[in-house]
Amino acid sequence: MQKGFTLVEILITLVLLAIIAVVALTAINPLEQVRRAKDSANMQNATSFLNAISRYQAVKEKDPQILASANSSDCQDIVSAGPVYDFTSLRDELSDWFGGVITESGAELYAGFDGNGSTKICFRVSSVANIAKTPQSGCTILPYSYRCLPE
């Protein structure tokens, strides 16, 4: 009786393990998971910014001064106006580090006020699942897709 495995048995085992690894990576898709995490962080930032604006409007009974912002609640108008880069009137509502976060590439926020007290905050999305939702709650301005809150 021989002890051990033959070379063919070892090669077959390695091929099967490689196939299982490829199937697992395809199912998990780590790049898509990273995109979803980034989209989730952007949505949380947009929610925090929208809540800060709501608190400001409730206390001051007017819209905050935000540069750049659009005088519209249409996603394409809001994004075309450019990302928010100055929101000093909201400094009491937001922490100091927030300004650095939302000015990073890919994490920018876009604000729009329609004049009737309605505010919309848009942000860039990159995961396939969120891009599929843009027709209902956002827009696409090539090469990027955007979602807006509130939906």
Residues near 125 by Cβ (< 8 Å), separated by ≥ 6? 39, 42, 131, 133, 134, 138, 145, 146, 147
Residues 101, 117 contacting (CB under 8 angstroms): no
Instruction: For residue 88, name the pLDDT band (cuts at 50, 70, 90).
Output: confident
pLDDT tens digits, one per residue of 4-55 = 888 898 999 999 999 998 888 777 888 888 999 999 999 999 999 999 999 9
pLDDT the model gives residue 1 = 65
Cβ-in-10-Å burial (0-12, 13-18, 19+) of 52 comes to: buried
* CA 82 centroid distance within chain: 16
The mean pLDDT value for 117-137 works out to 88
